[in-house]
Amino acid sequence: MSKIHPTAVIEDGAQIASTAEIGPLCWISSRAKIGENVKLLGRVTIMGDTTIGEGTIVFPGAVLGAGPQDHGNEFQEQAKLIIGKNNIIRENVTMHAGTPKEHFTTTVGDGGMFMINSHVAHDCVVGNNVIMTNNAVIAGHVRLGDGVILGGNSAVHQFCRIGRKAMIGGMSGVARDVIPFGMVTGDRGKLRGLNVIGLKRSGMDEHTVKSITRAFMFIFKGKDGTFEERVEQAKEKFKDNEMVMEQVKFIEEALTSRRNILTAE
């Protein structure tokens, strides 16, 4: 039997794993699915069709699966929120369900940490091992790659993509796509370089990091030709570097995307 506090409200139909723990004053909707070893520590609200993967811990005040803040789509029966395994979701975090614009689904990966008051909006896709620091917020339809870090009080504009292992500094507003491994700082976020420390901490050797840095300087700081021409040249110049090719592919997609690419100054 699940360990459920007597003050918790569990609507009929909710699916709760036998090893889950539901703390005091929680409310769980009839369509919720709570996985093995999930812990809702108390005063947690799980709304609508929300799935929480095994091992995830949710702290008091969090509201997960509420209808999107998208006018006209606030109450959609098909709307879903899917949260992966082993996440830490701290106090007062909000994650909203999707809209018809993105198959009604908001998705959060595994192993993330979502600190106090952070917000995942409707239709977002959040990768694995993402960290959203206190008060970091992402608007609707944002894509966060694996290992992204958002600093405190940062904000990402709707439809932006933040590439794998990019880092957004505290108090930064991001209005364009950010390349994988990028480092963004400033109140109106600007691409300052690469997240070199993050790359090294993830186990990348010095040679690889230097190679990625050379490619960054060539594409973003080069003086010959246009930005688009340098991107095209990089496809040949760095064709044997898998990580640079990941950046090039991302840039090419961003140049035709809704938000375009954040360039260096």
Please tell me whether residues 20 and 124 are part of one structural domain.
yes
Quick: pLDDT tens for 156-165: 999 999 999 9
Asked if 50 and 97 count as a contact pair (C-beta separation under 8 A), the reply is: yes
Please tell me whether residues 14 and 114 are part of one structural domain.
yes
pLDDT of residue 93: 99
Confidence of residue 5 (pLDDT cuts 50, 70, 90): very high
In a domain, 54, yes or no: yes
Please tell me whether residues 243 and 136 are part of one structural domain.
no
Please tell me whether residues 206 and 78 are part of one structural domain.
no
Please tell me whether residues 10 and 105 are part of one structural domain.
yes
Length of the chain measured in residues: 265
- Sheet containing strand 167-168, strands side by side: 3-4, 21-22, 39-40, 57-58, 88-89, 113-114, 131-132, 149-150, 167-168, 182-185, 190-194
Please tell me whether residues 130 and 17 are part of one structural domain.
yes
**Which residue, 141, 164, 185, sits at the end of a domain?**
141
Question: What number is the average pLDDT over the span 160-181?
Answer: 98
Distances (CA, A) of 128 to 86, 107, 108, 245: 10, 11, 8, 21
In a domain, 117, yes or no: yes
Phi then psi for residue 264, to 5 deg, are -85, 155
In a domain, 153, yes or no: no
In a domain, 249, yes or no: yes
Which contacts (CB < 8 Å, 24+ apart) does range 177-180 have? 177/250, 177/254, 177/257, 177/259, 177/260, 177/261, 177/262, 178/262, 179/247, 179/250, 179/251, 179/254, 179/261, 179/262, 180/145, 180/243, 180/246, 180/247, 180/250
Q: What is the pTM of this model?
A: 0.97
**Which residue, 97, 124, 141, sits at the end of a domain?**
141
Range of the domain at 224: 199-254
Neighbours of 62 (CB within 10 A): 23
Question: What number is the average pLDDT over the span 70-91?
Answer: 96
Please tell me whether residues 123 and 215 are part of one structural domain.
no
Q: How many domains does the structure of the chain reveal?
A: 2
Among candidates 75, 78, 87, 8, which has minimal Cα distance to 46? 8
Please tell me whether residues 137 and 208 are part of one structural domain.
no
Please tell me whether residues 129 and 209 are part of one structural domain.
no
In a domain, 167, yes or no: no
Asked if 79 and 98 count as a contact pair (C-beta separation under 8 A), the reply is: yes
**Which residue, 114, 141, 168, sits at the end of a domain?**
141
pLDDT of residue 73: 94
Quick: pLDDT tens for 101-124: 999 999 999 999 999 999 999 999
Confidence of residue 1 (pLDDT cuts 50, 70, 90): low
pLDDT of residue 244: 95
In a domain, 194, yes or no: no
Quick: pLDDT tens for 22-66: 999 999 999 999 999 999 999 999 999 999 999 999 999 999 999
Distances (CA, A) of 101 to 76, 98, 122, 123, 243: 12, 8, 10, 8, 31
In a domain, 223, yes or no: yes
In a domain, 178, yes or no: no
Helix/strand/coil percentages in the chain, nearest 5? 20, 30, 55
Neighbours of 236 (CB within 10 A): 7
Look up the CATH number of the domain holding residue 21. 2.160.10.10
Q: Any idea which residues carry the catalytic annotation?
A: 122-123, 140
